[in-house]
Amino acid sequence: QVHLVESGGGLVQAGGSLRLSCAASGNIFSISAMGWYRQAPGKQREFVATITRGNSANYVGSVRGRFTISRDNAKNTVYLQMNSLKPEDTAVYYCNAGRVVSGNYYTDWGQGTQVTVSS
């Protein structure tokens, strides 16, 4: 299993930037991909971005061009650089890690970090 701890959330004005960090510990070598999800008040949790160990990245359309996901394997950390933030980006952001064991895919989640964007 993998333990994930997010940090870097906060309150920013529209158009501003934040960088989220997610530090992983535990069964690090089994991780094949890490990513970010978010949940806004009254809405379902949604996919934001993922990155594989080979640095292949995917984004939800609403953040493409504004957010950048990256990873530092030496630090076992994934980042989400968030630029040109909009009020609709306000949500709790959760880090996710995926791993494959004996053909099965497992996921682990962090506790979340609040991002609030004022208009």
d(CA 77, CA 97): 11
3-state secondary structure 53-112: CCCCEEECCCCECCEEEEEECCCCEEEEEECCCCHHHCEEEEEEEEEEECCEEEEEECCC
Query: Which residue in this structure is represented by tokens 């980006």?
Result: 89
User: pLDDT digits over 45-88, tens only?
Assistant: 999 999 998 889 999 999 999 999 999 988 999 999 999 999 99
Kindly report, residue by residue over 1-48, the tens digit of the pLDDT.
Answer: 899 999 999 999 999 999 999 999 998 888 999 999 999 999 999 999
Give the C-alpha separation, 110 to 70, whole Å: 17
